[in-house]
Structure 1
């Protein structure tokens, strides 16, 4: 299968973190569709950061794929090349070290293949070019659509096809959530506070590190983390000191009401109130980052699953 190479621009900066759900119902509810009725509206952050011509193209191209919100395209465009503003090799001409080029960082062979399956509408280059923002963004919409985004079937998987890395999916959805104006209806995640966002950003940066019993991470001389070591270290970067164990973190609260939506940065706990055995950090759309167990690295998982012993969530405060 052909795949896209990417130019990494560093850690994504976002106010809300959102990692797409693997189940279609949640993904569709979070991201809406590509039509004018179901598509989300740009947030003030989007209006301030995205050049007007790029914003228009993201919104127009998304309409070619039911179930793909424009904010996903914008998230890819931001992470790849800062909406074409990057001066790194391969953005405006030539290619980067992996052969990718253009604002959406296509391999030439992948671009040609996508364009053959999803003809680009008039308004770009003749012939279409991966360096032309119009052509590249429409091609990205087609590629994501055929990779799982159509009808919201698998947004997470579609982005993972674009670049085979969980951290990349997390950053793209992180940015997409910043760009998407919060929906007024219930069922979506609550917004993250700046400290919670900082904690999630830190946790994202630890993806792939090994599980280490009692581990507090590289900053404390450990190769990896255990579950509560990860959450403690994440919130330390935000200036919030948590107790060391999962049980103590649960007791510290404050608890999130069971009928209230979770927010990125919330701690999610497993066990019983008096016997908590695991904790993760919620990152939105039904996902968490956690250090699961021996032999499993820090990774993204569903925060709820059949037969779990979910005990509730807390929302750390300074």
Structure 2
């Protein structure tokens, strides 16, 4: 009997929008997933909730050789990082008896639930993400992930399906893909994504002031990366460095709305894949949105240029 029910994984796959068809395995994948310190790709930052991302990285660090991206990819397939609304994810069991965001069978969770990790609850619960993700890391570690001995065998023990193994590794490879931006832009994105859910507050510079406005968020994000920006959207636009009209966007770019000759009234942080994170307006919260849904923009700057960023597209 599989350590985790194949039926449970198939149900979760259908719910989360992950491709249900087998993903062709690329042998080079395993060679790129040999440690647990890989920096999150823009796709990983955009897709994984900040709290789950932190738990995956912390849990993977308890098993030498287990890359956090593999653990996160399991969480993606099983429950879309706890966001699936199917039975068994947040309470009860699904038709196969699996429970929680990592879809454990009760007997299997009992075998790997201890010791209780920092942030976990006592008694351990398969529905609590800290308990569940650390248990999954232990299970993978015990079955081949330690020292990266045989990650395919470890994943096959989690779900007895070659297609499942290939799918998880393909997602892990995407989460591990080298970013197209430098570390400063990556840090700014990570900070901004961690603020999702905070209230929009006019003039707000952070949680200590109740929330952010649009330029308060971008200023704080780049401050976390060691880059000082002016306070308002218009002065941030003026500060540059600006990109030439139509230049391709990179994660970390600031996209501005309004009239550059009179007043720029809104700024968002581009995170890749056509998405931005921003503090929209009164009554809303920091959120991810499709850039195209915000209408035409006035211009783009690349604050991290010169810190590992490409400058080829900059305006003269």
TM-score, length-normalised on structure 1?
0.51
Q: 1:176 to 1:201 in 2, by over 3 A?
A: farther
Q: Write out per-residue CA displacement over residues 165-194 of structure 1, whole angstroms, 9 at most, x where no aligned residue.
A: xxxxxxxx8x7655125xxxxxxxx71211
Report SS of the residue matched to 2:160. Answer: helix
Q: CA deviation at 1:247?
A: 0.8
More RCO (CA 8 Å, sep 6+): 1
Structure 1 residue 43: Cα displacement: 9.7
Tell me if 1:208 matches 2:170.
no
Distance in 2 (alpha carbons) for counterparts of 1:210 and 1:91? 39
Secondary structure at the residue paired with 1:279? Answer: strand
| Residues 1:260 and 2:232 are matched in the alignment | no
Query: How many angstroms does 1:263 deviate by?
Result: 1.7
CA distance in 1 between partners of 2:224 and 2:30 (Å): 27
- In structure 2, the CA distance between the partners of 1:104 and 1:49, relative to structure 1 (3 Å rule), is closer
In the comparison of the two structures, how many residue pairs are matched? 203
* 1:68 matched residue in structure 2: none
**Using a 3 Å threshold, how does the CA distance of structure 1 residues 281 and 41 change in structure 2: closer, same or farther?**
farther
Aligned-pair distance for 1:304? 1.7
**Partners of 1:217 and 1:40 in 2: how far apart?**
45
1:271 match: secondary structure = strand
* 2:112 alignment partner in structure 1: 93
Q: Counterparts in 2 of 1:179-218, with a 5 A limit?
A: 179-180=176-177, 191-218=180-207
Task: Using the TM superposition, give the Cα deviation of residue 92 of structure 1 relative to its aligned residue in structure 2, in angstroms.
Answer: 5.7
Q: 1:226 to 1:98 in 2, by over 3 A?
A: same
Listed as ranges, the gaps of 5+ residues in structure 2 are 1-6, 10-16, 38-67, 82-101, 103-107, 114-123, 139-151, 308-316
Q: Would you say 1:229 and 2:216 are equivalent positions?
A: yes
Bigger Rg, which one:
2
SS at match of 1:293: coil
Inter-partner Cα distance in structure 1 for 2:197 and 2:32? 30
Match of 2:283 among 287, 295, 302: 295
Q: Distance in 2 between matches of 1:104 and 1:139?
A: 17
Contact kept in structure 1, 2:267 and 2:278, CA below 8 Å: yes
Superposition RMSD in Å: 4.6
Distance 2:272 2:290 in 1: 10
Aligned to 2:136: 103
The answer to whether the 8 A contact 2:256-2:298 is kept is yes
